[in-house]
Chain A
Amino acid sequence: MNLKPRVALIDYGSANLKSVLGAISGDRLEVRVINSHKELLASNFDFMVLPGVGHFTHGAFSLQQKNLITGIQENFSNGTKIIGICLGMHLLFDNSAEGLGSGLGMLKGKVTQVSKHEIPKSISRINTGWFETESNLQSGGKGLNGSYYFTHSYGLESKDFLNQQELQELSVIKDSTTVSHFKTHQIAGIQFHPERSHNQGRIFINQLISGWL
């Protein structure tokens, strides 16, 4: 009998699949790369991981073109938890200021240009590099402090986000309002790239999954 939690790593053509697969693969999880509606509904997945590198419009279009939206939403309605990484996190929302197209609409919130957030002066329109993160204590929940690799020009802002979600965890880039990660009882979003954040990134995403088990 297979008791390992099942993870669907969703391949929609806008993703760094190999590195994410490397980061979450292990003895404790059964990870499958999924790229069709049929495959998504064929197994009872405990988790879905939506990775992403790229432009919101292309990501939204790719999800639609590959006919993956309904399957993701059906699994979610049946209780499957979902983790969105970078663009994958933006796609959990209705839309993004980055461009046209509809996301999965699982959460209410605004994906906005990072340069319009409350940020240190050193951050330009493109926010790339290793940044310290810190818990946002206003959430009433916990967050995880650390240093992780970010590369993005759009993101969530904690002040827009706090009132609308039942948060278990929320962290921001240090001294800014830009969300680093969040977690509710069924959804997690990670703005940075845990799969490319050395060992601490791999530990982070595996702890995030373990916290739900």
Chain B
Amino acid sequence: MFRVLAAIQTMGEDAVKTKFFSNPTYVGDPMNIVRILNAKGSQEIFIIDIDSTKSNQINLNLINDISEESTVPFTYSGGINEVSQVLSLMASGVERIGINSLFYENPQKVKEIAEIIGSSSIAFSLDLECVEESNWLPLVRGGTKRVNKNINQIIEDAVSLNIGEIHIKIKNIDGTDGRNSIALFDSFFSSFDFSNVKKEMQVLISSGVRTDSIIEECRDAYKVDGVILGSQICFTNADNSGISIRYPEKYRIG
């Protein structure tokens, strides 16, 4: 089954949703959202702590609570720097960890982590900004800083570090109504060749997937392994008004 992950961004004890990697809007209590997603047959849950990226402190109490509540696998991302943090997260019931800054700042540590938890338990978020047509810049530290590195080289490094999953996350369409998503996906996938990468790792699109038709486009046109939904699971309306936790019916389990 095509993978559809429900992402919950957290700030402290609150669930939020960003737009363009900033401007977090409160969307509810993370535990309550997990309960609703469980009931709606969500395939997987992705917890992204946007505070931890800045503070490097992981809210393990919240992770423990979510682990007890969730009946589906969940990935955690935010503020991971050390092997000891990864082991605590895995012991708490996290199935997979997500990294971004660590990949650029300490690749050796990433390799070490992959050797302990295995490729399938580590995902790399390739945060990007498109500054003009086909000019793609990688981002780090929650999208606040640009990285001077060639994207083909980044992808090659991710494979050689034995990372099992890559999430393509585009700042320009984060939290938007999705009207520019397809044009940006077209630009990205025509600029970079992912055919060999798909043999080595799972490839997921992680922003701008606002509608069911965009999910289908990701599956059929770009042939990625899955998508990560943010705004689509939180908001009723395209302008991010009306909070309501949802999960697309076609991809539900059970």
On A, residues with C-beta under 8 Å from B are 13-19, 22, 53-58, 87, 98, 115, 124-131, 147, 149, 151-153, 193, 196-202
Q: Is the CB of A151 within 8 A of B120?
A: yes
A126, B226: Cα distance in complex, Å: 13
In the complex, the answer to whether B199 meets A124 with C-beta atoms within 8 Å is yes
Closest Cβ of chain B: how far from A120's Cβ, in Å? 12
Task: Say yes or no: A198 contacts B253, CB within 8 Å.
Answer: yes
Q: Is B73 an interface residue (CB 8 A)?
A: yes
Majority SS at the chain A contact face:
mixed
Are A58 and B115 also in contact (CB < 8 A) when A13-B87, A16-B95, A153-B120 are?
Answer: yes
Which residues in B have their C-beta under 8 angstroms from that of A98?
A: 118
Q: A99 — nearest CB in chain B belongs to which residue? A: B115
* Chain A neighbourhood of B96, CB < 8 A: 151
Question: In whole Å, how far is B88's beta carbon from the nearest beta carbon of chain A?
Answer: 11
Residues of B within 8 A of A (CB): 1-3, 38, 41, 43-44, 64, 67-68, 70-73, 87, 90-96, 114-121, 164-165, 198-202, 225-226, 253-254
Q: Are B93 and A19 in contact (CB under 8 A)?
A: yes
In the docked arrangement, what's the CA distance between A79 and B28, Å? 50
- With A and B bound together, what is the CA distance between A98 and B119 in angstroms? 10
A15 to B96, CA, bound (A): 12
- Known A58-B116, A87-B118; judge A22-B68 contact (CB<8 A): yes
| B94 proximity list for chain A (CB < 8 A) | 16
Residues A124 and B202 in contact in the complex (CB < 8 Å), given A16-B90, A54-B90, A151-B73: yes
